[in-house]
Structure formats: C-alpha cells, structure tokens
Structure 1
Amino acid sequence: MQAIIAEKASQAQALAAPFRHVKKGTYIEIAPCETFQEGAMVAWCSGHLFEIVPPHEMDPKLKRWQLETLPMIPETFKYKVIPSKTSRFKAVKEIIKNPAVTEIIAAGDPAREGELIVQLVVRMSGINKPMRRLWVSSLTPKAVEQAFLNLRPIEETMPLYHEAMARSYADWLIGMNASRAYTLLIQSKMKGAGRDVYAVGRVQTPTLALVVKREREILDFVSKPFYEVTAMFNMDGAVYEGKYTKDKETRFDQKEDAEAIRDECVGKEAAVVKVKTENKQVPPPVLHSLSTLQALANKRFNFSPKKTLEVTQALYEKSYVTYPRTDSNHVNPEEAAAFPDILKKLSHLAPYEKWASEITRSVMVDKRYVDAKKVSDHYAIIPTEKVPSLHSLSGDEQKIYDMIARSLIAAHYGPAVFAHSSIQTNIGSHVFLTNGKRLLQPGWRPVLFENEKEDVLLPDVKEGQRGIADDVKVIEGKTVPPKRYTEGELITAMKNVGHGMEDKELGKVLKSVSGLGEESTRSNILERLKQLDYMKIEQHRVMPTAKAFILIDAVENTLLASPELTGRWEQRLKEIGKGEAPANVFIEQSKRLAEKIVQDAVQHSSSWAFNAPAKSMAASENQPLGSCPKCGSPVVDKRKFYGCSAYQSSKCDFTLGKKMLGKSISATNVKKLLDKGKTNLIKGFKGKRPFDAYLVWKDKKEGTVQFEFKSSKTE
C-alpha cells in the first residue's frame, strides 16, 4: 500500500477525488484500483509542521540579547514541531509508520517549499521507506490521474529539498544575527528609544530600502512652476489645438519666455507644414504570472498581494486554475494543446460567451505565449478544463478568475491597431504640434476593456493649408514629486530591480533570478514589513514609518540594504535547486557572512547619527512649530520632514521637506515661515549654480513654497 502525503487538507481531497475513496477521520482511504492496486492512504500536513529551534532553546545563555554572544553559529540546526501542529504531525506519522505502507508518495505543492514540508515530516518521523514524487500543476481529476501514472524518482526533486533547507538555514543565520546586532546597536545609540526590535532580512531590508528611497525623493522634491504655450488654429473651419515645441521640449522655466512666444504668435497666419499618420500594432498582453496578477488586482480592485495569492490559491485548490506561485508568462505546447477545449467550456459562461466563441487565431506557434524554453518549474496561470459555475464562487474569486480567463481569451485575438496622427503647424519659425490616436482594429482590446476611452481625433487638414492662430495662451503648471508605491507597483519594482542598474553584471544576476524575492514570497515580505511597523498603507499607497528610516540609515551602504546580497544568494540557491552546487558549501559561506555582518554593524555604528530617538521624536511632535497653513492645526517635526499633526484625524496632508536642493531647512526657519510667511536668508541651495534665497509662500492655502531671491535693496 502507498501513503500519499499532501501539503494541506484541500489538496489531499483533490488528489483523492479521481478515485473511489472514503474519509476516515484524520486521513482519506483510496480503494484498490488500477492506479493503486493495493489501495492508498492520503494524509496531509497543514503547511509547515516544523520550525528551526530558536537560539535560547539551543543555548539558554542566548535568551538575553547581548553583543558579546554574537554571532550565533549553531554547529547543527535542529527542528521542533510547531506547538499548534502537534496533533497534525501525529496523524501523518501514524500513516507513514503503518506496517502496510511500503512506499511514500510526496505530494506537496510542486515547488521548493512543498518539497521541504513533506520530506521534513518523513525524516522527522524517523521512517526510511522508498519514496517517489508527485508533480502536478493542476488539480483537475484528469491532471491528477495523469500525474500519478508518471511519478518521479525522489532523487530527481531532492535538490529542491536541499535548496529549501539551505535557504532556511541561511535566512536564520542572517536574520537572527543581524536583527539582534542592529537592535542592540540602535538602542544603545538612541538613549531612551524604547525597546523597539529592528528585524533585518536579506529580502525584506532591501525592499524596505526601495520604499524609504522613494519617500526621501518625495520629501526632498521641490516643486517648480513651468509654462507652456498653446494655440487654437482655424484652417478653413477645421479647428484644433497645438502646443509649442522646440527640440522635443514644450516647457519654459520662465514665464516671460513663454509670454514672448505667445506675443509673437497671437493673431498671426499659420500653415500646416506636415501631416503624418502611422499605424502601430499592439499585441495582446502576456499570460499571467503571479506578480502580474497581483499588480493588476491591486490596481483594479485594491487587493493586497497577499489577498490575491490567497484567492488564487483557493481557485487552484478547487481545480479551477493552475498552480499560482509561478514566475512564468508562458506555457508548454502540451498545455497549449488543451486551450481549444478550455475556450469551448468558457464560452458556456455568460461573461465569456461572445469572446470565447469568436476567437480569431491559435497561439500554438506564437512564442509570446507558447515557449517551453521560458517555462521553469511551472507555467503561466491559466484556467483549467474544469470550468466553475460563477455563482458558486465568492465575489473575490469571481474577480480573480475573470482576470485569468480573459487573459487566456485575449491571447487568441489579433493585435489592436492604432493610427497615431500628428499635425505640425508653423507660425513663422515657431513650431506647434498636435497629436491624436484612433483605434482602427480593436483586436483583443474589447475582451479586456469593455468601455474603451474615446479616440483623440484630428481634423482633416492638408499640408500647405493656411489659416489663423485664433487664440494663443500661456498655460502654467508645476512639477510634481514621484508618487509613493502602491503594493502592486512595489511587487513589480521588486521583480524588476535589476533593470537599469549601473552595475551591469549585478543587473544581469538580478534579472536572471527575477529581482528581489520570489513570486511565492513577495506578498509575505510586504505583510511582514507591515507587521514589523516598518511601513503602512495610506490611501492605497505604501508609506514608511520613522522606524524604517532609522533602520535604513543604519544599514546604508551595507550589503543588507542592497539587492546584491539577495541577488547573488538567489543565484546560488537556484544552482543548488538544479543540483549544480552543494548546499553545505553555501551554508558555510552564510556562517562567515553572518560573522561579517555583525562585525560591520559594530564598526559602522560609531558613525551613525540619528536625528532623534524614537521617544524624543514622539515628544517633539508635541512641540508645535506653528499653525498649519491648510487647516490651522499644529505643525510638528516628524523627524524626516515637518508636517501637520492632524494627519491621522483629518488627513490634512501638509508637509515640508527637511531638505531642499541639498540644503537642510531648520526648525527655526520653519517657525519663521509659519509665523511671518518668510524664512531667514538660506545660503547654499544647489541648482545649476549655488544660490541663496528666502522661502516664502507661493500658495499658502495649498501649503506650497517658492524661492525669493535677495535684491540689492534688501538687507
């Protein structure tokens, strides 16, 4: 008899579903059949059942956090049952130890962690029986039956177990040692800072550095006005607007320059110099990987990445979609061969009836979707041939299923074709451009976008046609800072962190390992950063806390803040997972790295200069610098910027950066600005050339400031 060990209960049920079976308390019994001639018993874990023993249980002396005990380098790592999962381990162990069981089938998720969960349970049971591996990316009865007929030797997937073990050991070494070192050193540096723990991780810390970097860009940003010149042309009744353009630039820094162009053009004769139309094809989007699905669900429904993964996992366990933890946007030819059948079944569902039954092409030879070379362990997320009754799904499940189903349908339509048009109109030597876009062939777009935006249509004018510039005006705008990341954008930034790096070699490494973290772990990283009070979500955007700034200040210019550590780490781990590198060498290197990280933290701590400890920072928020220009509430020092104290209660968003053009803005000057409307003369702003200026209100109601330059008549 065979014992099948699944990762969770729902998975166990799906694995038993194709066969005659009965549930017997803590396991499922499959009756003898062609696949299991002596029958089988299906047991299940509940995710990870074991954890690495914490330091103080390895050595009681390590219970108290002290620099003198760092680094903590165990000679061997020990595991213990997670207390809440003792009964589940007992149930699985009883099945494995059953004398009737002669072979064990490891049937965890088809990935590294699924390998670790099941193999660790077997090893911790002290059982040594023959094992084989079930590998299946879809839990439909057809896929499950086929997978049981093609079991893999356990030796084939053993490298994934070694990879997972090496990863967990190394993460423990870095996380435990770096977290204790930085916590103790920051606390000693910031007297009265409380007992905050500064947890550090090789993926979470460089991810947090991305968030803090963006926030610093926002705080340091100085909004500047710009000016553009537009003209309304009338060419024999054909009326359209053009924008002044020179060397592909439309903006003026000085209003006077824009006004001079306006004055030279208003009421003057204009001529159509060039009319150009170019057709461009836009292919359908690629099939979904987990990160593209998470980014789109966050943008469309404000789903957190964690929620998207949970909902997609639920659809997978119900056999409606394929395995979700994938970084691939492609499928193998074998999966593509099933597309016609899947589309036919989708056509019976009302939302897809029209689109799934009227597809215009096959994707079998389109390498944008079908390319075995670009499929790693798992192919893209697609619907299975088991199509649900939509009313049986929850509202959230319907939304995610709809996105996955439509992406497959859209791939079977031709490209959308747009006509991009432009008109160049000259007033003398001054050039004005007008751009338009018109959808010529909708192709795949109606499948994904039912309500298209209106086309920007241009009038039918001919080259050489002449007319009048009826209305020429100067339009004022202002530059805006970059926006904070949404969670979906942060997931994408983590994946694409290797793109555009100055260090080309490192960029290549990061791209090869898909950036920071993995598809299956990125949402967990973001959740952990929120749990650790490093960041929070405000109006659907990611905002770092004061605690985040403190940690990133401390780890600045170290490997812990850089994607380099995790990039090279992932590269080596993938080699272990492929059986190309030994795990023990990697673990020894991780031990040496843990020692270096502790040494570097101690050495660098002497140069740390935090503005204020956490508690005194809170105290400073009780000392107003003046009244908020937008709502009248007190403005306080929030360590990295000055801001309205009523943000939490009224969402007043007034802030003033502590640095502008490389120059620090003191609390004294902020008090003067809030009280008198003008700071003292601040010397050394760094523009194209260094300059001195006052800060004055540009628009007090909006809380925006501008520079006022010292004149010869003033002090």
Structure 2
Amino acid sequence: MEDIMGKSVFIAEKPSVAQEFAKALHAQFSRKDGFLESEQYIVTWCYGHLVSMSYPEKYDEKLKRWSLDTLPFLPEKYRYEVIPSAQKQFETVKGLLNRADVSTIYICTDSGREGEYIYRLVDMMAGVKDKKRLRVWIDSQTEEEVLKGIKQAKDWSEYDNLSASAFLRAKEDYLMGINFSRALTLKYGRNISGYLRTDRTVVSVGRVMTCVLGMVVRREREIRSFEKTPFYRVIADITCGGQNGEDAAAGRSFPAEWRVTEKSRYYNTPDLYKENGFKKREKAAELIRNISGKEVAEGNAGVDNCGIISVIDSVEKKKETKNPPLLYNLAELQNDCSKLFKISPDQTLQIVQELYEKKLVTYPRTDARVLSTAVCKEIHKNIGGLRNYALARDFASEILEKKMYTGVAKTRYCDDKKITDHYAIIPTGQGFGALGSVSQTASKVYEVIVRRFLSIFYPAAQYQKISIVTTTQNESFFASFKVLVDEGYLKVTPYSFIKKKAESGNGASGDDSTENEKCDAAFFEELKKLRKGSQLPINSLTIKEGETTPPKRYTSGSMILAMENAGQLIEDEELRAQIKGSGIGTSATRAEILKKLDKNNYICINNKTQVITPAKLGEIIYEVVNASIPPLLNAELTASWEKGLTYVAEGTITSDEYMAKLEDFVSRRTNRVINLNNQAALVTYFNEVSKNYK
C-alpha cells in the first residue's frame, strides 16, 4: 500500500464508508475540512453524486422553452456539471486528486455500475492526469475485507467496460426522459389537463418507470374483466381400517376427491370444470346419485350413510425432499420483507444498507443468490461469528462441530458463473455491538438473513408421501398424505417473531384440488398397511362449491421480483431466452422507480398491505403512451436495453454500436409522436378509464 513516490488518496462514496477505510488503515489521521490525512494517506469522500448531466438549456438557452421544433434533442457531445449543493466538496476532492504529492488514487466508491459512474464523473470533471488509479472492490465493510480489497485493487482500466455501460445507462435515461416526456407533454398535456380539469400536466415517462406502470395497469384490467366461474367438487369421506369394510367403526376416515378418469361416464364431456369438478351443481348431484342411489335433497350439501364400498386401485408410496432455498439477493429479500413486515422495497433497502454499514451483513445491492468459491473457503469465519448471536448460537455451534460447512463449495449454493458484481447477502458474523442500536424491524430483517444463511448447511427436509386411488362404479377418488420424517433445515427457519400456527387440516384452497393431507405418524402407519384391492367403505359424499379467483394485484415486493424476472413476461420464446437473467432496472434502482411512480400519482401503494393499484392519472398516461410509443409499456423493450448494457459491460458490443441503436430509437419514436394527430380520439379511452374511478 505504501508508495515511495507519494501519498495515496482513498476516495469513498459516502463519509461513513470513508470512516471505515480510515479505521482499517490504522494510521494517525488528523481531521481536515472534507477529508482525513496522515503521513502516508488521505481519505476523502463524495456525497453520492457530485456531478450530473447538464439540462438541455446548458447546450442552448433556446432549449429551455419546451417546443416540438427543437426535438429530437440528441447532443453530439454531452455536457456535465458539478451539482451546486456539492460544489464545496467537489473542489476539495478535485484539489486532493490533483495534489502534486499524491501518486496513487484508490477508488473506493460502491462496488457496482453506479459506484463506478460516480467516481468516473468526478475524475473527468477534476481533470486528473498522470496518477496511478486502482479500483477497490469489496463485498462487506469489515476491516478484513477492506484491507483485502486494498491489497487486491486492480488498475481502474480493467473496469472501463463497466464504466462505459454506466455512462450509456445515464445517457439512455436522459435521452428517453427528455425527448419522450417533452414530446408527449407538448402533444397531449393540454388534453389531459382539460379532461381532468387540472392546471397543467407534465407527462413523465422513463425507460423503466413506464414499463412498470404498464404492468400495474394491465394487471388491474385483467382483474376488472375477470368473471368468476363457480365450480363444484365432490368429496368422499372414506374409512381406513376395519379389514375389507368390516368393523368400519374401528378405523379413522379421510377425505378423497373425485377426479375424472377414462373409465368415468363424464370423461371428455362438456360438463367438466378441469378434471376435478363440474360447471353445474346438478351434475355433481347426479354423480352422487349414480354412485349412492340417493338423491341430494334441496339445500343439502350431499348425502350421509352411503353404505357403499370402494376398492383401492393403487397405493403409491414415495419419498419427497425439500431443499433449503437459495440465499437472498436484494429482490428476494425485498419481497419477503414486504410479506413479513409490510414494508416497502425502499425501506428494506435502507435497512439492509444500514446493516451493511454497521458491518453486520455483506453488500446489499446484489442480484446473485449464491456464494463465490473464494468465500466458501472462508465461510467458517462467518458461521463462527454467529455463535455470538443468541438466536443462531446453537445452529452455528452444531454446523462448526459437525463440520457441516465443508462441502458447500460443491453445492448449488456456490457458483462463480452466477455472480456478476457481488455474491448473495449473508451475515458477516461481525458487528454485533451495533445490533442493539438498530430498529426492531431491522433486527428482524437481520434474523431473516441469518436463518436463510444457516439453513444451507443443513440437509434437505424429508417427507413421506402416500397417494391412494379408490374406485366405485367406475368413478375414482384420489387422496394423498404427507408426513415429515426428517425436518432437516426446517429446524433453522422458524422466526422468533412469528407465533407458531397450528397445522391446518388439508391444503385445499380456492381453485386447486385437495393437496396433501397433513396427518400424524400413527394414522400414516395405518395408511401404509393399505393394499391394492382392499375394500374401504364410503361414509358420505359432499358437494364442495368453489369459484375461480382473479389474478392477484402486485404488492411492492412481488413487483420487485416481477421486475427482476421481467424476461418471463415475454411471450416470444427466442427473445425470452436471449434476455434470460436480465430484468428491468437494477437491484439498486427498482425501489426508487416504485417510489417515483407513487410520488407522481401514477400508482397507489397501500401503506398497510403494500398492494399496488393504478391511479386515475396513471391510467390516463398509460392510454397516452399506448397511443404514441407503445413499446415503452412492455418488458421486451426495457429488458432488451438492459441486456445491451450487460453486453457493453462484458465487452461483447461497443459503446458506439449501442449509442447508434439508442439514437435511432429515440429519434424515430420522437418524430412519430410529432407527426401523430390522435388527440381527439383519446377522449374515448379517457372516458373508459374514468368509469373505474369515482
């Protein structure tokens, strides 16, 4: 680290991170205005962004006034400026980077595309020349990791492609935002204001934001147009025990569900709703009459005391294993926290960022759900540290004593190919002193991360499953049972903050057929004795009414997951394969996008439930975009641009190739809007939207 030539400057993204670097360097620092200095080192910081892209009027005063005549706006050379509120710190940093006694700059901004961009802008605006620049890339802020990052810092040129993709991402958002927002506002703003009787309307669109709005509106419209379909299932109560139907009272009974088979008189008839029900109640009653010879009286749910025998067609026994889930990336954690604590993705990110800064967990803005080989070699340290955390002490001790961590590098939880910038979010096993100073929710989020982490060192949970098919008069009834034989990793997962719920009887719900009956071990042993050909009495036959359910609205958490997996929304198989693993937005920006849509009054996020619905203005904006630049509403466009940025970062395509495509898209689409003449026609759509809002 020491440089004979001169001093080393360490530049971090935030003051708090700079403090951690200063601590790790173990030098006698004196505090100056905007930096720390010792004999060998200078540590300074940005406040997030110090530099931003200039607004169009900085290119030409005429561009301040919005006019269709000045569109499309595609600068040949982009302009940047220091953010006025950050001017003082920028001047400090600029002075330090260019100081004659400084020979090496360690770039310690966040290890990701955005962190790269923050420093590169500063370097560019400060006009740094003839200095050695090294990039520090870390996964947590523990002293050990910081020192390792400094020691292994690579020449910044190795990150040139990442930097190029960062600059392009900013230009893309800038060009689409300015051109499309101006064009659509000038073209349709008056119409919207006139319709809604508001002062003036700015149509705010963005590459990611408008696509998310499209997802919310389409889902709401699916729900509105959904028509409930009632369906009727027939459930038999069958006695198990009492050999061949004798002494039925000696056994216990279980429910079995009628399903159509090739032998059934209802096979391939239009009366069926799926394979396990009927569209009309009369048909369910007819099935009961055909089997039992008894009529289902008006107002009754079925018939009792059937006195019919069913014969076992098949008994299938099999083992089922349930593996521990993959580790958390930011999207998965945001989704779980939205379910568990009803907090927004933005709040989750703030909490994990705080846990990261307090050295409790590793870097939060990650898309990976696995560990790297290098981390797996040292993983016993993380586990060892967790012996100091009351809720994990016993598990951590057991994992260490039995050396359960040794083979983890050979499992699905370790895969270098699935890591771009950072591995999954895991506890560092350090920083417990800070745990008392975080909020109650933050300490619960920490527990969630710890339990997920420790569970990967335990074996899969093992179930035994029995599926039984019985037949009477060519009609078949199906039942399946599941019992937990070995809890495996499940012993780690129950949260301390959730009261244990009683095990529910069976898993039948809504639209689905009866899932596995939960049953106790004694009854399971009884069931295991059943053989093909055994006769079992049917005690009663009941009609169970259900109805189809509409698609669910997104919650803020499930929307983050949908954004991460946007490729799955794409119908074209080839395109879907092409952008696999490429979502819309990034782990760092998705929460911000939802916040912005909410703030613009385009969507509503219920604070208590985190459920998302469109707002009236949002739905009107949807109609405007749909009539002018429809690709903006679809995941295909956004995800394919995101994939393009990945290609630039990987060096597969050049910045020039990407820029040419981008400028072509922006100019074509902007010119199309300018030439449209469809304002009057939109009123019909606005009227349709208004019907759904009081």
TM-score w.r.t. the length of structure 1 is 0.82
Superposed CA deviations along residues 220-252 of structure 1, whole A, max 9, x for unmatched, are: 011121111112123422211111111572121
Q: Deviations over 1:144-203 (max 9, x none)?
A: 112212221111112222211111112111111011112222235447133222211111
What CA distance in whole angstroms lies between the structure 1 residues aligned with 2:287 and 2:684? Answer: 51
CA contact (8 A) 1:3 1:103 kept: yes
Task: Indicate the SS of the match to 2:189.
Answer: helix
Check whether the contact 1:170–1:590 (CA below 8 A) recurs between aligned residues: yes
Partner of 1:86: 87
CA RMSD of aligned residues (A): 2.2
Deviates more, 1:371-380 or 1:387-396: 387-396
For 1:564, the aligned partner's letter is E
- Equivalent pair of 1:138/1:322 in contact (CA under 8 Å): yes
Give the stretch that moved more between structures: 237-246 or 354-363: 354-363
Q: Distance in 1 between matches of 2:457 and 2:392?
A: 13
Q: Does 1:392 align with 2:437?
A: yes
Q: Given that residues 553 and 612 in structure 2 are in contact (C-alpha distance below 8 angstroms), is that contact kept between their aligned partners in structure 1?
A: yes
Matched, 1:338 2:400: no
The alpha-carbon deviation at position 62 of structure 1 amounts to 2.2
| Aligned partner of residue 518 in structure 1, secondary structure | coil
1:180 aligns to what? 182
Aligned-pair distance for 1:531?
A: 1.6
Question: Equivalent residue of 1:176, what SS?
Answer: helix
Contact in 1 for aligned 2:566/2:639 (Cα 8 Å)? no
Q: Deviations over 1:31-68 (max 9, x none)?
A: 44xxxxxx111110000112211123322222222222
Q: Could you tell me whether the CA contact under 8 Å between 1:509 and 1:567 is conserved in 2?
A: no
Structure 1 residue 92 displacement after superposition = 1.8
Which residue, out of 11, 14, 23, partners 1:17?
Answer: 23
Flag the 1:243–1:603 CA change in 2: closer, same or farther, 3 A.
farther
The 1-side partners of 2:61 and 2:323 are apart by 62
2:616 alignment partner in structure 1: 546
- Aligned pair partner of 2:363 in 323, 327, 330: 323
The aligned residue for residue 290 of structure 2 is: 264
CA distance in 2, matches of 1:156, 1:493: 32
Matched, 1:456 2:518: yes
Residue aligning to 2:662: 590
Q: For 1:395-406, list aligned pairs within 5 A.
A: 395-406=440-451
**Cα gap change, 1:152/1:453 in structure 2, threshold over 3 Å: closer, same or farther?**
farther
1:504-537, Cα deviation, whole Å (9 max, x unpaired): 221022214x221111111111111112211111
> Partners of 1:81 and 1:152 in 2: how far apart?
28
The match for 2:159 among 157, 160, 163 is 157
Q: Any gaps of 5 or more consecutive residues in structure 2?
A: 1-6, 241-247, 262-273, 293-305, 504-516
Q: In structure 2, how many angstroms separate the alpha carbons of the residues matched to 1:440 and 1:500? A: 38
Residues in 1 aligned to 2:354 and 2:283: alpha-carbon distance in whole angstroms: 61
The equivalent residue for 1:224 is: 229
Is 2:232–2:279's contact at 8 Å kept on the other side of the alignment?
A: yes
Contact 1:537–1:543 (8 Å) recurs in 2 = yes
Counterpart of 1:413?
458
Aligned-residue offset at 1:81: 1.8
Determine the structure 2 residue equivalent to 1:526.
594
The answer on whether the counterparts of 1:14 and 1:318 sit within 8 Å (CA) in structure 2 is no
1:515 corresponding residue in structure 2: 583
Instruction: Determine the C-alpha separation between the residues in 2 that align with 1:149 and 1:305.
Output: 35
* Contact 2:189–2:203, Cα closer than 8 Å, also in 1: no
Q: Deviations over 1:601-620 (max 9, x none)?
A: 34555287434697xx7xxx
AA aligned opposite 1:369: Y
Shift of the alpha carbon at 1:401? 1.6
Residue 257 of structure 2: aligned partner = 243
Tell me which residue corresponds to 1:667.
none
Deviation at 1:494, TM superposition (A): 1.2
Matching residue of 1:660: none
Q: In the alignment, what sits opposite 1:75? A: 76
TM alignment of 1:304-383, pairs within 5 A: 304-359=344-399, 361-362=404-405, 363-383=407-427
Which runs of structure 2 are paired with 1:428-447 in the superposition (5 Å)?
Answer: 428-447=473-492
1:504 maps to 2:573: yes
Q: CA deviation at 1:372?
A: 1.6
Q: How far apart in 1 are the matches of 2:228 and 2:352?
A: 42
Q: Does 1:207 align with 2:215?
A: no
Stretches of structure 1 that go unaligned for 5 or more consecutive residues are 33-38, 618-636, 646-715
Question: Which deviates more from structure 2 when the two are superposed, residues 232-241 or residues 522-531?
Answer: 232-241
User: Are residues 252 and 613 of structure 1, via their aligned partners in 2, closer, same or farther at CA, if it must alter by over 3 Å?
Assistant: closer
User: 2:188 touches 2:679 (CA, 8 Å); kept in 1?
Assistant: no
Distance, in Å, in 2 between the alignment partners of 1:605 and 1:546 is 23
Instruction: Tell me how far apart the structure 2 counterparts of residues 217 and 564 of structure 1 sit (CA, whole Å).
Output: 20
User: What do the CA deviations read for 1:80-104 (whole angstroms, capped 9, x no partner)?
Assistant: 2222222221232232233322222
Amino acid at match of 2:690: R
What do the CA deviations read for 1:440-473 (whole angstroms, capped 9, x no partner)? 1111112112547637116624133324322212
The amino acid of 1:414's aligned partner reads: P
Q: Report the CA distance between 1:105 and its aligned residue.
A: 1.7
> Deviations along 1:286-343, whole A, 9 cap, x unmatched?
1111111111111111121111111111121222211111111122221111211211
Distance 1:565 1:500 in 2: 12
Distance in 1 (CA, whole Å) between partners of 2:30 and 2:116 is 25
1:473-484 aligned within 5 A: 473-484=542-553
Task: Give the superposition deviation at 1:491.
Answer: 1.0
DSSP-derived class of the 2:567 partner: coil
Higher relative contact order (CA 8 A, sep 6+): 2
Aligned-pair identity (%): 32
The 1:191–1:371 alpha-carbon spacing in structure 2 relative to 1, beyond 3 Å, is closer
Residue 166 (1) aligns with residue 168 (2): yes
Tell me, what secondary structure is at the counterpart of 2:349? helix
- TM-score, with structure 2 as normaliser: 0.84
CA distance in 2, matches of 1:535, 1:467: 56
CA positional deviation for 1:640:
5.0
* Structure 1 residue 395 displacement after superposition: 1.7
Deviates more, 1:576-585 or 1:109-118: 576-585
Taking structure 1 as reference, are residues 172 and 144 closer, same or farther at Cα in structure 2, changes over 3 Å only? same
CA, structure 1 residues 26+435, in 2 after alignment: closer, same or farther (shift >3 Å)? farther
Distance 2:231 2:575 in 1: 38
* Larger deviation, residues 457-466 vs 526-535: 457-466
Asked if the contact 1:49–1:85 (Cα under 8 Å) also holds between the matched residues in 2, the reply is yes
Instruction: Give the partner amino acid of 1:269.
Output: I
What does 1:131-146 align with in structure 2 at a 5 Å threshold?
131-146=133-148
**Aligned mate of 1:26, from 33, 57, 79:** 33
Cα pair 2:344 2:610 within 8 Å, conserved:
no
Call closer, same or farther: CA 1:273–1:530 in 2, change over 3 Å: same
CA change 1:222–1:153 in 2 (3 A) is same
Alignment size in residue pairs: 615
Question: What is the CA–CA distance in structure 2 between the aligned matches of 1:501 and 1:611, rounded to whole Å?
Answer: 30
- SS of match in other structure, 2:409: coil
**Which runs of structure 2 are paired with 1:605-620 in the superposition (5 Å)?**
606=678, 609-611=681-683
Whole-Å Cα distance in 2 between the matches of residues 324 and 560 of structure 1?
A: 29
